Amino acid sequence: MPQMPQGIVKGGKEDVKLNNQALFQTKAYINGAWVDADNKSTLKVYNKATNAVVAEVPDMGKDETARAIEAASEAFKSWSKTTAKHRHDLLLKLYQAHQENAEDLAKIIVAENGKTLAEAKGEIAYSNSFLEWFAEEATRTYGHTVPSPLPGVRNIVQTQPVGVAGLITPWNFPAAMITRKAGPALAAGCTVVIKAPAETPLSALAFCHLAEKVGFPKGAINVVTCAKGDNEAAVGKEMCENPAIKKISFTGSTRVGKILMSQSSSTLKKLSMELGGNAPFIVFEDADLDKAVEGAIACKFRGSGQTCICANRIYVQEAVKDEFCKRLAAKVDKFVVGNGMDQGTTHGPLVSEVGVNKVDEHVRESVKAGAKVLVGGKRGEGLFYEPTVLTDVPAGGPTDREETFGPLAAVYTFKTEDEVLRKANDVNVGLAGYFFSSDVARCFRVGEALQVGMVGVNTGLISQNVVPFGGVNESGFGREGGKTGIDEYLVQKLMVFGGVGN
């Protein structure tokens, strides 16, 4: 069985010790000032491994959000007129500042999210890559000319920043999801208002501290913190309905995405939504099983299974199912679960009790329907859950219906390619999909047939700063990263010149 922590839950204040303690900010950031909530109310940020309070941050609402939007709107007047080279230089300075403080930024992630230090360092590297990439993209927001069919007419198309961008970020990548949105927005000439997740607001505030230090003007970047519930709903509603916000970018559940889209309709904002998934992970009988197992480990158990592109339904062809499951279970059995700062820990806790309950429910319901537990399958102490492998999972179970978002590998069996494609595509979401095969023709055939926005072929890792990230169907629309990521924050303007020449 995976080694699980014992006696780890404790109470009391827990200090986050950093080399640069100034990164540990506990006030929101509006118009270049560090501020409390109007009514001085706060929300507690917990260490997910120990349940100790690591910080208290402002619990803000509609009014503070409106002021942040007003500040961003005022700052947009000058920021949008800066040169692309100026924005490029500032973003590269911010990138360098993040690089210099990478160790501390990773420790903040461990404290508020629960990831292991190694995973947190990986996230910081990923997060910083977007600052570097979009710094360069700032100078490549090209326009173009279009030959006119009319004599004496010249057509010029320019790109311009869309305006103030409202960025609503998730807790599972508290640093990377900010830079993946704020990087292209700032590079394009937009100003931003960020709603930080209640579970993990400290990374967003550290981002603001570094941005302030390298010279971003007041109002260009604003962060509002708030607790889940009424205030979170009020903040989101204000961002969607305030006409000064011209763009909303959201990463989160399909359910919430639909609410935000509806609320944005009154002002017809530009939207990009990266919503829920239910990723299939297919292992064909001609696959390299060792590589398939490695891919499944990387894809399923990264972040303790709390990523939107985690494998949620693992389909293995019947001829190799038993051997694949044996090798997978043996790997999972060696996991060490605990505090992310402890040496040797491979996997941390989940972020909330709601998440633990969901994993437990999926395991119990699957087993009741006939699935077999190969390893794990039980709750740990606090927010820990044993990394779990289930085999012989029957169709129609909970992992067919929704993402588990936890450390549960649910293994199904299939016979034919047509059968598994039908099952893989039998969901209303389509974010990511994966498969392993040594047949080149099958690789093209299956890759093209999967109804998802991203496909991993013989790999379980697909996220990179240089490629577009996003889904289809109810997994949302728009793309983050890659050469088109900045387009989400730009609009095209046509200028037609008449009376030119004869």
- Strand 221-224 and strand 388-391: the pairing is unpaired
Closest CA to 39 of 9, 22, 11, 62: 62
Q: Which residues pair with 497 in a beta bridge?
A: 154
The CB density around residue 147, as the number of other CB atoms within 10 Å, is 7
Q: How far apart are the first and last CA of the chain?
A: 83
Strands across the sheet containing 154-161: 144-147, 154-161, 490-497
Tokens, residue 209? 């501290």
Interatomic CA distance for residues 276 and 255, integer angstroms: 9
Interatomic CA distance for residues 400 and 381, integer angstroms: 28
| 206 three-state secondary structure | helix
Give exposure, 228-245, as e/b (b: 16+ Cβ within 10 Å).
eeebbbbbbbbbbebebb
Half-sphere exposure of 457 (CA within 13 A, CB side): 14
Catalytic residue among 119, 137, 212, 274: 274
Is 274 one of the annotated active-site residues of the chain?
yes
Contacts 24+ apart (CB under 8 A), 19-22: 19/101, 19/103, 19/104, 20/101, 20/104, 22/209
Active site residues: 274
